[in-house]
Amino acid sequence: MPIASDRTRRARPLLGTFVEIEVAAAGSRTNAAIDAAFDAVAQVHRLMSFHERDSDVSRLNREAGVRPMRVHAWTFEVLEAAVEMHRRSGGVFDVTVAPALQAVGLLPGADDERAVVPGPCVGDAIELLPGRIVRLQAPDTRIDLGGIAKGFAVDRAIEVLREFDVPAGLVNAGGDLRVFGAAAHAVDLRDPRDPLRLLARIEMAGEALASTARRFDLMEGSSLGASAIINPATGEPAAAMIGATIRTSSCMIADALTKVVMISGTGAGDLLEHYEASALLIAADGDIQITSDWSQAVHLAA
């Protein structure tokens, strides 16, 4: 006889990955709640995709360097967070690195003959005006919200589930995840040096978690590839860290902070403290460092 479960789990391909939603039983509206949460994730994709021609991001990249443009409230909220993160990180977090990502083939549309020159910092390049109006200071400025929008989508999905009075659950978008409710969750973290190996088990309750690492392609052998995170100061892939996992209350903030610590490593301590975030870092030499406020909740594999 099958064992009855008081939890419902579903997954859909969204945001370039699989998004999984698991909820505790919420009565007759459980399926409606999950559908609405998936719809919120899909809307974030439509608004902030670099690839979709009609997204806010694509429209800004085509036109906002010539004339100011109004964007959706969610897009404006993410841009506000990006500008704030840029300011507090001393320019390390920068959504105007799209040309450098194009040059290494991580975004479409690169001109192979054009040398990539790091653009102006996001605080100077993006002007946010009342009424959700955005202006790019130069016609050739290009933004990519891939380093922050996935976490925002997770936060929005959680918000929707709570609106449906779902008591507890989890939203996981390819490693950017957030849990809510009183119950604790155990999350297994893969070793970025070998995705087939478990690095740690992390205990979570009412928190968000985001991880990033250098690229790994089983078809190319066991060696790690270059990072998909660009250091805006050099226009080159980040090299200081192999992997980073961040825990804080907002998945959007955790998502963005992983990019900062992949570039700055332990130099991001003050920024982590400001956002009340914890970190697990794996340096290029394999050294593992965990912030002291998180050490008891992270159990490294033997």
| Count of Cβ atoms closer than 10 Å to residue 61 Cβ | 19
**pLDDT at residue 236, rounded to an integer:** 83
Q: Residues annotated as binding site?
A: 147, 255
Structure tokens of 210?
């985001």
Q: Residues annotated as binding site for Mg(2+)?
A: 147, 255
By the 8 A CB rule, do 232 and 124 touch? no
Sheet (strand 69-70) strand order = 69-70, 133-136, 126-129
| Count of Cβ atoms closer than 10 Å to residue 38 Cβ | 19
Q: Which domains are assigned to the chain?
A: 56-136 (1.10.3980), 184-300 (3.10.520.10)
pLDDT tens per residue, the chain (302 residues)? 344 457 899 999 999 899 999 998 766 789 999 999 999 999 999 999 999 999 999 999 999 999 999 999 999 999 999 999 999 999 999 999 888 888 877 788 754 444 444 444 555 799 999 999 999 988 889 999 999 999 999 999 999 999 999 999 999 999 899 999 988 889 999 888 887 889 999 999 999 999 998 654 444 444 455 678 888 888 888 888 899 999 999 999 999 999 999 999 989 999 999 999 999 999 988 899 999 989 888 998 87
Full DSSP string of 278-292:
EEEEEETTS-EEE-T
φ/ψ of residue 185, rounded to 5: -125, 145
Rounded Cα distance, 294 and 302, in Å:
18
* Angle CA 44–50–55, to nearest 5: 55
Structure tokens of 84?
């704030």
Taking alpha carbons only, the member of 145, 44, 142, 40 closest to residue 85 is 145
